[in-house]
Amino acid sequence: METDDFTTRLRRDRLVAIVRGRDAEASLRTVLTLAEEGIRLIEVSLNTADALTVISRSVNAVDPSIAIGVGTVVSADDARRAQEAGATWIVTPALGGGFEEAVARHVPVLAGALTPSEAVAASAGGASAVKLFPASLGGPAYLRALRDPFPDLPFVPVGGVDARAAAEYFEAGAVAVGVGSPLAGDAPHGGDLAALRQRARDFLSVCRTEAGT
């Protein structure tokens, strides 16, 4: 995936679903369920049990319109292994070796940053978008403050984003939100897939409403 394509997809879909589970098979089922519900940007964290296998199987199982990414990419080796597993985009918790390797490999990267200096460094270093993390530290008001000096930076708040907060972040200028446990719940650990489907629909409703669709 090209960097511009990824940024366009963030702006269009507005939701990055984050899967992080203790059970590999349950994590795979979670990815497939999210895809079935219409979520098209799904991140599998490297903290997931047997993460690379889950990523590879997910890439082979979902429709090509679903873009599988890899999260918690910290080192250059993490970035290499993520791409080899079939991920088409990468998410980092911070700037560092994983970010630099992803950029060098021309893989779109959602780069973790919190401060103004980190956000500028991420953009200058080749990030497709800035993952505002942990967003819960400052909330929508902090994003709004960052947008004043950096109105053109694409920010994606991640960390403690529930459906209500998602709407508030969109109002503050986020291009998309990244959502982990408030969406996935216990599904990646073997929990209720029916409840997961309902949460997915709730989040998609918020994203579509804020997008005006």
The CATH code of the domain that includes 197 is 3.20.20.70
Look at residue 201 and tell me whether its pLDDT is greater than 80.
Answer: yes
Name the band, by pLDDT with cuts 50, 70 and 90, for residue 83.
very high
The maximal CA–CA distance of the chain, rounded, in angstroms, is: 44
pLDDT score of 2: 79
How many domains, in total, are found in the chain? Answer: 1
Q: Report the catalytic residues.
A: 43, 131
Does residue 211 surpass a pLDDT of 90? no
* Cα end-to-end distance, the chain, whole Å: 25
Average model confidence (pLDDT) for the chain?
96
Confidence of residue 117 (pLDDT cuts 50, 70, 90): very high
Position 1 pLDDT exceeds 80: no
Model confidence band, residue 212 (pLDDT cutoffs 50, 70, 90): low
Q: Express each pLDDT in 17-58 by its tens digit.
A: 999 999 999 999 999 999 999 999 999 999 999 999 999 999
pLDDT at res. 208: 87
Domain interval for residue 9: 3-211
SS3 per residue for the chain = CCHHHHHHHHHHHCEEEEECCCCHHHHHHHHHHHHHCCCCEEEEECCCCCHHHHHHHHHHHCCCCCEEEEECCCCHHHHHHHHHCCCCEEECCCCCHHHHHHHHCCCCEEEEECCHHHHHHHHHHCCCEEEECCHHHCHHHHHHHHHCCCCCCCEEEECCCCHHHHHHHHHHCCCCEEECHHHHCCHHHCCCHHHHHHHHHHHHHHHHHHHCC
pLDDT above 90 (res 209):
no
